[in-house]
Amino acid sequence: MFGIRIKLCYNTRESFIQKTNEIRMASINQITDAILPSIDSTQLEIIQDKLGCKNSIEIDITPRPHAVENECHTNVLRQIKWYGGDKIEGYYVAISEKENKWVAIKHSVWRKDNELIDVTPVSDNRTKNIFVWGSKNLSSAVYFNGQEISHQQV
């Protein structure tokens, strides 16, 4: 399923972004049957190690009125422009309790007064994300159980 490569051609940047987001969401939906089940510290340490990240947090999702779903990097930059603060890049991690699988997608959150805030809305009922950060070598790839998955793989 994840080993198939698909050549994708796009007419516009917007169509590329839309297709990339569809692939990301399809990958997440295929492996997650429960969003953010309880995670033990050992499993989180393994995930952090695989991603090369030093820090992790269960972060509240607090969408802003201007924010657009699946546009976290842009949402955070707008927030900084209007209210100051910093952009922190890392990964949003979703975990499937049943299958003991996880996926990590590059994600940005807003830091203001040493508080991390996820300003990007989500379409499900999630109120929290697991966010890991602190790597000097962030990849834009999606990670599935520690294996990098190209955006062209489904």
Amino acid identity, residue 138?
A: L
Which pLDDT score, from 0 to 100, does residue 49 have? 87
Which pLDDT score, from 0 to 100, does residue 133 have? 92
Which pLDDT score, from 0 to 100, does residue 154 have? 31
Block means of pLDDT (10 residues each) for the chain, length 154 residues?
41 56 53 48 83 90 93 96 95 77 89 95 88 82 70 38
Which pLDDT score, from 0 to 100, does residue 95 have? 78
Which pLDDT score, from 0 to 100, does residue 136 have? 74
**With a threshold of 0.75, does the pTM exceed it?**
no
- Which uninterrupted H or E stretch holds 112? strand 101-112
Long-range pairs of 1-4 with CB within 8 A, sequence gap ≥ 24:
1/30, 1/154, 2/27, 2/144, 2/149, 2/153, 2/154, 3/153, 4/153, 4/154
